[in-house]
Structure 1
Amino acid sequence: MTGFARVDGHGDGYSWTFEAKSVNGRSLDVRCRMPTGFDSVEALARAEAPKRLARGNVNLTLTITRSQAVSQLRINRALLAQVLELAREIEGAGAAPPRLDSLLAVRGIIEPVEEDETDARERVESALKGDLAKLFDQLVVNRLGEGARLAAILNGHLDEIARLVGGASACASAQPEALREKLRLQVATILGSFPALSEDRLAQEAAILIGKADIREELDRLRAHIHAAREMMAEGGAIGRRFDFLCQEFNREANTLCSKSADVELTRIGLSLKATIEQLREQVQNIE
């Protein structure tokens, strides 16, 4: 859910920079920093964000600089008419007619006209809204690129979980005999010199322990979770919440496997499994 985007623009005497930064978050939280007077742009940003994004803390910043206003020029026709009338009176007294550059040099003949600021602001806001769409497009592309890189990491963790599940399955086949031998040693220690239990009774007790320590269901569920995770990733879209819940189920099965273990090697595999699942869960927090 991390990403960054930037769009620069200018027009009508304004220049601006849009920036968007996205970091991890459990839900979508949009924070805007806009100059005073551009509330409509902020409202549009808050309305558009949920259409493009599902999760993440998104910070939008708009910086605007007002450049020197470019003024248009116009001729003050009323003043020019007065000057020409005075020139004709002077010509009647024998003076030479005034030259054009002399007339234009008279203060006030040519005057600047400021453009209507309201119209300029409206055009700027319209341009800003267009750039806002570009900003979100860039952010989405950036986040998708980050997601593609995370997909490779997630698949690596799932591959490791599958490998550990295979190792646990191999250990599980030896678990009944290990439990039977463990029970035999415990009974021998308790009874000491007393007569040992019959083979039938020992088999019954071993069967009870083996039933309680059977991890085949946990291994089957772990395999099912791996399959579900891969399907979810292939599906795409906003899968972060569902994937996070699936990681909790992964961890539940790993904990049960460790609690049922009667073998050192199986316990080692279970602990490695829990560590890998935790690494998977941490990376899942980074996806939408």
Structure 2
Amino acid sequence: MIRSMTAFARSEADLGSQQAVWELRTVNHRYLEVNPRLPDGYRALETPVRERARGVLQRGKLDATLRLTENGGGGGRLRLDQELARSLADLGREAERELGTTGELSTAEIMKWPGVVVTATLDADEAQRRLREALDSALEGLVEARAREGQALSDALHERLDGVDAGLARIEERLPQVREAFRSRLEERLGELRERVDPDRLEQEVVMQVQRADVDEELDRLATHTAEVRRVLEEGGAVGRRLDFLMQEMNREANTIGSKSPDAAISQTVVDLKVLVEQLREQAQNIE
């Protein structure tokens, strides 16, 4: 399976008084570049971010952003200061005895006392653990997103490879007619020289001219490159650099076919081939 270098993923972590959000975004890059963007006080996470990213990614520019927001004491993140609450209840009963009054403090009244209900907090180690777990979850989502996009890229590449194969088939079908027409034109132009030039020598020149226009080797190499691209896609992994090299070679062969062929129909097919190869190259640049 191939993977795209372009993807996005996010995950959240509950830190008690704060909510943490990891946002991971990758784009194309020749190598792996990791850019952690962390709030003040969380710089210690920079090394874990880089290490975890290198463990699952091989190419692409990764921006790993950590955002923190205050929970505001809601959402079940409050806790009761039991010691203070008991002290208030005991104090209320003592006051009744001393003053001879009645009416104990209600639970609602106790909870309204400052400090009885407080926002839950985490110790530093627990917060770091949750942040790392959320980072791992985001990286897992990022890899899955890159794989999904990679499958779409693979489908697009195969579609264009089919187009290249079809173009090669058209050229090969056209070649016998082109060779015969080329030979006839060449013999016609040289016909007036037959009486003044050695016939064997003339025949050698005709053969040489025909060979110079022959594109069989280029067609074979282009077909070989196309088959290799298919093999590489099937093999999967980090194949982007390999594919980029193959696209350069395919473009080179297409250019040579176009420069050697004297036929307008083949030249037009070569233009179509070059467009397909350029589309292949652009798609391949997105692959890890």
Q: Structure 1 length normalisation: TM-score?
A: 0.82
- Determine the structure 2 residue equivalent to 1:135: 138
Instruction: Say yes or no: does 1:52 pair with 2:56.
Output: yes
Distance 2:90 2:144 in 1: 63
Tell whether the 8 Å contact from 1:184 to 1:202 is kept in structure 2 after alignment.
no
Structure 1 residues 172 and 101, CA, compared in 2 at 3 Å: closer, same or farther?
Answer: same
Deviates more, 1:195-204 or 1:233-242: 195-204
- Return closer, same or farther for 1:204/1:19 CA change in 2, 3 Å cut-off: same
Is the Cα contact below 8 Å between 1:76 and 1:111 reproduced in 2? no
Classify 1:76/1:257 alpha carbon distance in 2 versus 1 (closer, same or farther; 3 Å).
Answer: closer
Q: Decide whether the 8 Å contact of 1:16 with 1:64 is kept in 2.
A: yes
Relative to 1, partners in 2 of residues 1:152 and 1:24: Cα closer, same or farther, differing over 3 Å?
same
> Which of 141, 147, 152 lines up with 1:149 in the alignment?
152
Pick one of 60, 67, 70 that aligns with 1:63. 67
Amino acid at match of 1:208: M
Asked if 1:25 corresponds to 2:35, the answer is no
Alignment partners' CA distance in 2, 1:67 and 1:177: 82
SS at match of 1:63: strand
Q: Deviations over 1:177-198 (max 9, x none)?
A: 2332332344368x6xx95656
Q: Distance in 2 between matches of 1:114 and 1:248?
A: 65
Q: Is the deviation greater in 154-163 or in 63-72? A: 63-72
Query: Structure 2 unaligned runs (5+)?
Result: none
Paired residues in the alignment total 275
The structure with the largest alpha-carbon Rg is 1
Structure 1 partner of 2:166: 163
Conserved in 1, the CA contact under 8 Å of 2:183 and 2:206? Answer: yes
Q: Which runs of 5+ in 1 are unaligned?
A: none
Q: Percent same amino acid among aligned pairs?
A: 35
| Aligned partner (choices 120, 124, 128) of residue 123 of structure 2 | 120
What are the superposed Cα offsets for residues 204-257 of structure 1, whole Å, 9 maximum, x if unpaired? 111111222221111111111111111111111111110110111111111111
Over 3 Å counting, the alpha-carbon distance change for 1:123 and 1:214 in structure 2 is same
**1:203 CA displacement:** 1.8
Counterparts of 1:29 and 1:99, CA distance in 2 = 68
Partner residue of 1:263? 263
How far 1:147 sits from its partner (Å)? 0.7
- The DSSP-based 3-state class of the residue aligned with 1:283 is helix
